[in-house]
Amino acid sequence: MSYVIPFDADEYEARLLKVKERMEGAGIDLLLCTDPANINYLTGLDALSFYVPQVLLVHKDEVAPLWFGRMMDTSSLKVTTRLPEKNLLPYPETMLHQQHVHPFQLLSQHIQTRGWANQTIGVEMDVDYYTARCHQTLVAGLPNAKVVDNRRLVNWVRLAKSPAELRYMREAGKITTVAMQDAIDNLLAGKKSYEVAADILHTSVMGTDGLYGDSPAAFPFVMVGENAHACHLYWTDRDMPENEMVVVELAGVRKRYHSPLARTILLGKLTDEPHRLADIIIEGVDRALEAAKPGVTCGEVENIWQDVLRKNNLTKDSRVGYPVGIAYPPDWGEKTANIQNGDKTVLEAGMCFHFQSGLWLEKQGIALSETFAVAENGGERLAQVPHRLFYQH
């Protein structure tokens, strides 16, 4: 069976139109995208082509974007996108990883040839894939251009998901559900954390109900014992301890759309404190998601969560949620709005957030998160794993 592009042409055209509208509002003539999630969003490109210089050029007067990248990756464009071959601008291998020459020198020449060298060019100044050398080379090659930060322009367009995108978010949630349930069962059976992680990855790719999963933008976190008091730690080979906690955070992925989830598992006999913290988290998440409707701001949702913490003499200084969707390494966040005090972003139907309601105290760490889609009746939970602690009886 040949490769099937995830969305029809009309979907990509609508996305491009929204991006061009924002470009006009920002006074940008040419937009340069280096974030692979943004390139995927606008074209469908899905390949490991982003570890070397790669750019999608969106010009206000061009019908379709142009792609600039490594010669050998043009074949991936022909498989996963509808871009015409004339819009593929490859650079030769002789420019790859060299000390005295850089692909952005050729990129600058392409821009000059098209008569865009005196225009306003918006670049992604704050992404992992646009290096200092990329920027330095571009600016040197286009001395008459006005090069500005586009301030994550495409990321903001991506924030509200279309019905077609929500389909994949929900399918990702189904994969999350089976992967997390397997992880919980394996932990309660006494498997080591690296074995649990391996099973998570296997289950996440195998998927469920005929839906396979993609590789996640970040590997699963399996934090055991004292590691559970921190966050963003990986698995080890230590034996599963008695009378300890384990925190698991993972994401099911479908067509690059991520649905993260965290759960806490208690092994053996522990004090009542984890149960108390879990009850507080559950109440806070329930109330926040009930309020997560169109027209409410991110900050207002966070305040509802904080009200529950405050009445229990607790605080959480870090953000409690962030948007998710298409993602590539190193992480699965969209890096725009935050569910955080003072964030005035107004929620719209279709926005998707990971409500990371973890509480990491000095000697305890509890995480019971949810990924939800904003809907008229409040946040729609995308995974169906019971929102509670799991423990050995």
Domains of the chain (ranges, CATH numbers): 9-158 (3.40.350.10), 163-391 (3.90.230.10)
163: how many CB neighbours lie within 10 A of its CB?
9
> CA triplet 205, 208, 211: central angle to 5 degrees?
70
- 3-class secondary structure, 380: strand
CA 161 to chain centre: 13
pTM (2 d.p.): 0.96
339-371: burial string, b at 16+ Cβ within 10 Å, e else: bbeebebebebbbbbbbbbbbeeeebbbbbbbb
Whole-angstrom distance, CA of residue 243 vs CA of residue 266: 7
Tens-place pLDDT, residues 267-318: 887 778 888 899 999 999 999 999 999 999 999 999 999 999 999 999 888 8
Tens-place pLDDT, residues 153-178: 999 999 999 999 999 999 999 999 99
Which position has the token pair 């993609």? 214
Which position has the token pair 């926040």? 288
What is the percentage of the chain residues whose pLDDT exceeds 90? 85
Tens-place pLDDT, residues 339-370: 999 999 999 999 999 999 888 666 667 899 99
